[in-house]
Structure 1
């Protein structure tokens, strides 16, 4: 018999939920594991009965007992077969052996009257699911509770299993014995995006009621207060006012769950939908195009009104009346047209409005105080370059990963059958394999190659294909703000004299806004914008040049193993397992494997070529899935040294 190497953690064979346990195989999962010296040793394995041998994965003992005449299809006193125990404990080699000896694959047993495939599904063993199905196990069979494998995987949140089952041909809207679909189960049981998001991507019906009670997925989500899933379902077109067999709606389920905020959210959403179907005002206030245009106009009006009213030569009470009218108009527009569906474009609108009024101020107020024609030319060139880079950063595809349905199915099958289908490298929304350095953007709802961040100031992601335009946008935006501040300084230097020692800051500001409230207001805006623009630009250069990382990688580097420097220290010793396995482990040093030197890092983003002197690294980040040894330029590993698994981001 082959020796079994002791592990740091005691082996805990798993038992099915709701299944019976024999006295010999009972494992109390509530109690802490016994100390290592109480764990079975090689001598103990030799005395195991076949059930315990299967549970602990002692292959030689299993083969010994089967060769001695044990029937692999014999059910134990709990009415459970050996294949069940091997499946729930993920013993692939024993499963293959039992099947080769004639074990019945779809045999039902246990309290839940389920097959081995059901047991593996409940535990989320994807490799066992693939293995059993490769031997002909039927995932559409229902267990004693009436659920097939797709319903079980949805109940327990095993997204990878749901993806594989659908890719193998399981119907996304298959109903169990109670008339419930996988989407209903995930909406009720799983408090997270997955696997609900995956089911919706595959086209699961959001308004299909169950066959017994007439409840929709939205009702099941409301019954447990699952806000995350409620939002997913509403965004996918779930109807709010559908009634079940008892005349209840989703709002009633939210109230029964004692969740007034959720009920209020549903009522507001339903009111907005009804208004859209109503009269002219309702259609105007819910039209996305109109709301978008109003969102763009509001910052222009706000900046103008705040600066124009104090600047105008009218009596103070007239200014007060104009201010009150402006506040009333703003509150009306905000109430009628602005909601969370358009707030994401507010930063872009603020940028455009600020840029417009800065150019207006330069032309109308500051030109007489700037006596150099070259300065005017430089300012206009800066504005043109800023407009170009902003447009390119806004409109350029940042590197969205695309795939058709056939490719998505093929990807799922390939990853699952090679035992590499995990959510670290598979996007459950886009249903694609994630390349290195990519990430799914929740705002754009797409995966982006070499994802840096989603920037609200350009209303677009910053990724592999538009990062250089984003840097140009920040650089020339800083230039425009600098020119504006310079012009404001010349204006106030000519119009008044400052004595900060005598007047202080408040006195100086009072003089500034008394001379020209408009120029003072535009200058204040320029200072505020300079703060975030300069901080963002410096942070971008630091991450690119000195760290060799994107913003996403810097924030999440502790999660991505490729950034962990695990090289042995000088004079260090190899790690040896001990019985207690207590070790003082230091946090790994974070180093980017993509670092190529500060100037080369920058040029890899800017993509500048000059006669072979400057040569950026040419990498298609939309198709790069593995970190090769030649890519790790900062620390190259010795020849034939073991490699760490790459990490998808």
Structure 2
């Protein structure tokens, strides 16, 4: 990701983590939404933008810097109370802090708010109350107030301090963004909640007609979407200046969790743009398969007030996906049919194999080698066991965690605000890490501990699954072979399914292979002509079962290796992705001429990040921990609807047979990254 050495410029660009992915212009530049590498978006409609609030007049140019001013701003950035006090005394106007600006036109209050230096910010406001709403005079951040900078940086304690100091939540910069719009662009949920509690409006529009909800959906911050809709009362179907709803914006950008959050808030899945293109079709034309799967999951769960999900445009043009959408709305024993083609295909193969075995293989072997009653019984028992354990894995519960309510969400946010209200400590004249007050809020609202889709506490090792739109305890992976997620409640059933299937495959392949050998070598030409049709079918099934047996053997070997290390498949994939990312970083630095020194500065790619703290020291102990594992925290959460029972769980939870706390839909773009929609892979 691109790093910007100038924080004010990064603020103006509105870069999430310093980058918009290389396909979008900075917020505030012309024609933000619908930008696609300089190509006009054919699915975005033009139209008059709603009236925005009047913009502030341009601020006067900052005065030239002096040595005292330079030292003063360096002291502000150092977060040291002692250094700040000494530098402030050297200013020519110590009582007018709001009039002292750096070379770019920013005040000290801007930098203290951005850095989270709450103690220094409080001293600045005490010495000059006017500093709370003094706008920046920068050409890049013209009109931005300290509250906007605190919103961009996600500084909750600084936001609360500025609100108590009388900061205006309705102030707008030169592009029409207020503090709420800035917080929505960066996905800072706690700051959004504080601003809404301070009187901010979720319906305000910027100069281009975009609401904070449009920005949150466009950037993929599903937590901010949930906060704005459920707690702020934002209308989910509001349209911007180009006639696009937040759902269309999220679908356009491929943010599946934001799509689910908007649908959960009541957004209309059939709300088309001015050209009649539906959100699902817009996502399909952009190649966002996870968003399409999110729409199909939503339809298959029977949500949306009974309104059917249209599969495409009214004219029936290409890309409608009508049959796929219809298939996704049909269910078998609670499982969508679109997830069951492999399952049903295996049932058909198993039934055909039993017919071939008892109708041709057993008679063929009986008349040439001699009857054997034990082998047919073993084939029948293992086949029935494979069918039964497979059905239990597919249609049984995977470990669904209970869902929360808006009250649960609000209670958690209130706890975050209460934790951030603690005054920063001062030791020896210096602030003892003024950012520590925001740490409890960050922990409480971390997507690794709280699911913004289910509005519930997420215990260690759980993950939100797309096919069920629910969090799964001790999530392992999504398996197309069984047509659903594998979690705490059905992981051992999956292993039993694999063992029974492998045994059935071995028995069938050995018997059918022997029968084919008998017909080919021992039998006469007449016999081969009589058995010709059976031989062809048996040969095809034997080949197919050989491939299935090899796949099952590989799956069992992989699972045994992971269980022996006390890892889930999801965690192993995340660790592998971390190693690949590290290797790519080394290669990029070396390729840019960094040489050996640049490569040495990067952790070696063979080191597995993060450390597996759940390895109990031996394969035997790890296997016993897996076999004796509980339900992954399901019982604890069901007996504590508020989720408080698991709030104290940390890295030590896995020592008793739990495991890794994923930081995953959690890193990268907003709150999503690796914890986004579950990939369809075993």
**TM-score normalised to structure 2 length:** 0.61
Give runs of aligned pairs for residues 320-399 of structure 1, distance below 5 A. Answer: 343-368=338-363, 369=365, 371-399=371-399
- Seen in structure 2, the aligned counterparts of structure 1 residues 619 and 206 have a Cα distance that, compared at 3 Å, is closer
User: Which structure is higher in RCO with an 8 Å CA cutoff and minimum separation 6?
Assistant: 2
Q: Given that residues 285 and 291 in structure 1 are in contact (C-alpha distance below 8 angstroms), is that contact kept between their aligned partners in structure 2?
A: no
Supply the distance in 2 between the matched residues of 1:23 and 1:342 (Cα, whole angstroms): 69
Cα pair distance change 1:459/1:200, threshold 3 Å: farther
Residue equivalent to 1:40: none
**Aligned counterpart, 1:599:** 620
Instruction: Report the counterpart of residue 560 of structure 2 in structure 1.
Output: 541
Q: Does 1:495 align with 2:538?
A: no
Q: Is 2:537 aligned against 1:518?
A: yes
After TM superposition, give the deviation of residue 536 of structure 1 in Å.
Answer: 0.7
1:17 aligned partner: 12
Deviation digits for residues 514-544 of structure 1 (CA, Å, limit 9, x no counterpart): 6621212221221121121111111101111
1:90 corresponds to 2:103: no
Query: Which residue does the alignment assign to 1:455?
Result: 479
Q: 1:380 offset after TM fit, Å?
A: 2.7
CA distance in 1, matches of 2:477, 2:146: 44
Q: Does 1:482 align with 2:501?
A: no
* SS of match in other structure, 2:510: helix
Following superposition, the deviation at residue 87 of structure 1 comes to 0.7
Instruction: Give 1:14 deviation, angstroms.
Output: 4.3
CA root-mean-square deviation: 5.0
Q: Please show how residues 33-432 of structure 1 align to structure 2 within 5 Å.
A: 48-65=70-87, 70-71=94-95, 74-76=98-100, 81-101=107-127, 103-104=129-130, 106-111=132-137, 112-126=142-156, 128-129=158-159, 132-133=162-163, 137=167, 139=169, 141-155=171-185, 157-160=186-189, 164-165=193-194, 173-176=202-205, 180-188=210-218, 190=219, 205-210=235-240, 214-217=243-246, 226-228=253-255, 232=259, 237-239=268-270, 241-243=272-274, 249-250=276-277, 272=312, 274=314, 287-288=326-327, 343-368=338-363, 369=365, 371-402=371-402, 403-415=404-416, 417=420, 418-420=440-442, 421-432=445-456
Aligned to 1:310: none
Would the aligned equivalents of 2:98 and 2:134 in 1 still touch at CA under 8 Å?
no
Gaps of 5+ in 1: 1-8, 27-43, 277-281, 297-340, 500-508, 565-579, 608-615, 634-644
- Residue aligned with 2:651, SS: coil
- TM superposition shift of 1:170: 7.5
CA distance in 1, matches of 2:465, 2:7: 39
- The alpha-carbon distance between structure 1 residues 362 and 214, as it changes in their structure 2 partners (threshold 3 A), is same
The CA deviation at 1:164 is: 4.2
1:439 and 1:449 in contact (8 A); partners too: yes
- Residues 457 and 193 of structure 1: is their aligned pair in 2 closer, same or farther, counting only changes over 3 Å? farther
Deviation at 1:474, TM superposition (A): 0.8
CA positional deviation for 1:452? 1.0
- Give the deviation of 1:49 after TM superposition: 4.1
* SS of match in other structure, 1:458: coil
Describe the SS at the equivalent of 1:397.
Answer: coil
Give the Cα–Cα distance (whole angstroms) in 1 for the partners of residues 272 and 490 of structure 2: 43
Q: Structure 1's 353 and 165: CA in aligned 2 closer, same or farther, altered over 3 A?
A: farther
The question of 1:553 aligning with 2:571 is answered: yes
- Which entry has the higher C-alpha Rg, 1 or 2? 1
Deviation at 1:552, TM superposition (A): 1.3
Tell me: CA distance 1:558–1:527, structure 2 relative to 1, closer, same or farther (3 Å).
closer
What SS does the corresponding residue of 1:440 show, helix, strand or coil? strand
Secondary structure of 2:401's match? coil
- Residue 497 of structure 1 deviates from its aligned partner by 1.1
Query: Deviations 1:266-301 (Å, cap 9, x if unpaired)?
Result: 9xx96647599xxxxx999964478667xx9xxxxx
Residue-by-residue CA offset, 1:380-422 (whole Å, 9 max, x unaligned): 3223322332222123332233323222232344356424234
Output the CA distance in 2 between the equivalents of 1:107 and 1:411: 29
Q: Which segments of 5 or more consecutive residues in structure 2 lack a partner in the other structure?
A: 14-58, 293-308, 421-439, 583-597, 638-645, 665-682
Q: Which moved more, 1:378-387 or 1:159-168?
A: 159-168
Distance 1:603 1:444 in 2: 29
User: C-alpha distance in 1, partners of 2:146/2:372?
Assistant: 84
Pairwise CA distance, 1:139: 4.3
Check the 8 A contact 2:566/2:614 in 1, yes or no.
yes
Report the Cα distance in structure 2 between the residues aligned to 1:586 and 1:205, rounded to whole angstroms.
48
Is the 2:226–2:452 contact (alpha carbons within 8 Å) kept by the matching residues of 1? yes
Aligned-pair distance for 1:481?
1.4
Q: Is the 8 A contact 2:488 2:632 kept in 1?
A: no
Structure 1 residues 366, 647: closer, same or farther in 2, change over 3 A?
closer
- Counterpart of 2:463 in structure 1 is 439
Instruction: Please name the residue that 1:570 is paired with.
Output: none
For 1:620, the equivalent position in structure 2 comes to 633
Out of 489, 493, 503, which is 1:465 matched to?
489
**How far apart, CA to CA, are the structure 2 residues paired with 1:163 and 1:595?**
39
Do 1:430 and 1:446's aligned partners in 2 also have CA atoms closer than 8 Å? yes
Number of the residue aligned with 1:5:
none
- Residues 227 and 630 (structure 1 numbering): CA distance in 2 closer, same or farther, change over 3 Å? closer
1: CA distance, partners of 2:601 / 2:273 = 58
SS at match of 2:177: coil
